């Protein structure tokens, strides 16, 4: 089995293909290709937390001799991030739990400047024209009403009553933070949505795209979301991240909305929470970099439902550059989804949260055979299986957090996925 990357002249929408096939990465800021996968060539296990290098080597082997075959028609003269063998992944939050790389049989890619290509991973029997026909078929199915009934009734059930989460989990956690056990703790809660018919994943993604046009949209093995946060991206020797920490609700009243954003920017509590994450991430990247730096001040990142504090980070990787999988292993989980100090926070999450996070807040994204790729933080997400979806939201808790406000914040965050899942 090997991978072949070929130039594509036809205009096929990767968003339509990926939303229908269940393998999609769409980062609208222009740094990444949009990627859609069809079929499944193989799955490569990732043993965690120390299996990133082995998984990367296994993926790289799929390049075979395709790029040295001496035929310009074999590779189309294409190289760079997203060419050669490409895999999608969505890893569990618990970094001791194994994950997988999913290598599609066909990957459709559209680069930042409109350049298009496809990669075929198989035994060499699938032709380019056959692959293109399959992509057209999947895209057509995504845009065609199949006649399947759409959900009309929904039941939303919290795993824990909201007041229990507020008073029995967040309340005691703030007391322990005040006592100095740790600086920050992220606590999450979950609701389950059950519909009367299977949930239409392409429709969910379309709604997310319409409402959150600046978010990273992803769909991997039933895990679907619109994340505002890039955990890490690796492009050759360039590394980028865009961590978020600190949140405020939005308002339809422009004056109120502006005041809420200004209060978030000036909030000592939120600035402190944000600074913990930035310093932790810089310290995590520094061993891999000849240079790394962050913007001197955070900026307001405004989504349809909330404002966040965000800071862009960029650096140059030392040679040989680690793969995005290795960088992910070093950085996840950041204080934005776990807490600080990390070991204390993770132990307290296991003690207090009363649920298994699964893939919530885990890394989700893509990697190619050269180690390029990007991982989002798997938040604003749902694990969808048939007519059921598990939706999780979490908050950063510090010593002066107010449990009532923290509960309200989770409700704002739930609206991202609930609004996409439940038909108005």
CB neighbours (10 Å) of residue 124?
A: 11
Mark whether 229 is an active-site residue.
Answer: yes
- Please state, in angstroms and rounded to a whole number, the distance separating the CA atoms of residues 183 and 61: 43
Instruction: Read off φ and ψ for residue 189, nearest 5 degrees.
Output: -140, 165
Instruction: Read off φ and ψ for residue 3, nearest 5 degrees.
Output: -110, 140
Instruction: Read off φ and ψ for residue 368, nearest 5 degrees.
Output: -110, 175
CB neighbours (10 Å) of residue 73?
A: 11
Among 169, 211, 171, CA closest to 189: 169
The pair of structure tokens assigned to 162 is 């909201």
Among 346, 334, 337, CA closest to 181: 346
Q: Which of 105, 229, 273, 409 is catalytic?
A: 229
Mark whether 312 is an active-site residue.
Answer: no
The position carrying tokens 């824990």 is 160
Do the beta carbons of residue 210 and residue 416 sit within 8 Å? no
The pair of structure tokens assigned to 214 is 């600046």
Q: Which of 100, 184, 326, 406 is catalytic?
A: 184
Residues noted as catalytic: 184, 229
């Amino acid at each position: 089995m090997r991978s072949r990357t070929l130039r594509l002249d036809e205009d096929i929408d990767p968003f339509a293909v990926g939303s229908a096939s269940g393998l999609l990465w769409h980062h609208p800021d222009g740094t990444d290709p949009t990627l859609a996968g069809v079929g499944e060539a193989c799955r490569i296990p990732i043993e965690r937390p120390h299996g990133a290098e082995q998984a990367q080597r296994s993926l790289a082997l799929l390049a075979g001799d395709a790029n040295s075959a001496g035929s310009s028609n074999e590779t189309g003269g294409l190289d760079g991030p997203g060419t050669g063998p490409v895999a999608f992944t969505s890893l569990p939050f618990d970094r001791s739990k194994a994950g997988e790389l999913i290598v599609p049989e066909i990957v459709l890619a559209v680069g930042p400047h409109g350049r298009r290509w496809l990669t075929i991973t198989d035994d060499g029997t699938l032709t380019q024209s056959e692959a293109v026909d399959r992509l057209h078929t999947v895209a057509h199915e995504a845009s065609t009403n199949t006649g399947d009934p759409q959900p009309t009734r929904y039941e939303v059930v919290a795993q824990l009553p909201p007041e229990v989460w507020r008073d029995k989990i967040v309340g005691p956690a703030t007391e322990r933070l005040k006592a100095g056990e740790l600086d920050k703790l992220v606590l999450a809660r979950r609701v389950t949505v059950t519909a009367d018919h299977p949930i239409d994943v392409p429709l969910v993604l379309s709604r997310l795209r319409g409402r959150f046009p600046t978010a990273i949209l992803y769909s991997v093995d039933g895990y679907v979301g619109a994340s505002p946060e890039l955990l890490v991206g690796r492009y050759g020797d360039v590394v980028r991240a865009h961590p978020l920490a600190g949140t405020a609700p939005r308002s339809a009243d422009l004056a109120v909305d502006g005041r809420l954003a200004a209060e978030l920017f000036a909030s000592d509590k939120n600035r402190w929470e944000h600074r913990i994450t930035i310093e932790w991430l810089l310290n995590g990247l520094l061993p891999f970099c000849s240079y790394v730096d962050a913007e001197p001040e955070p900026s307001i990142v405004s989504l349809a439902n909330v404002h966040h504090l965000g800071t862009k980070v960029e650096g140059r990787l030392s040679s040989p550059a680690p793969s995005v999988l290795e960088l992910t292993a070093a950085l996840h989980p950041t204080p934005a989804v776990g807490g600080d100090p990390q070991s204390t926070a993770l132990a307290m999450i296991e003690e207090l949260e009363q649920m298994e996070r699964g893939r919530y807040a885990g890394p989700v994204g893509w990697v190619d055979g050269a180690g390029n790729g990007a991982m989002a933080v798997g938040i604003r997400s749902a694990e969808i299986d048939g007519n059921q979806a598990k939706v999780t939201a979490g908050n950063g808790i510090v010593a002066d957090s107010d449990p009532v406000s923290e509960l309200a914040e989770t409700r704002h965050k739930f609206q991202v996925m609930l609004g996409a899942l439940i038909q108005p």
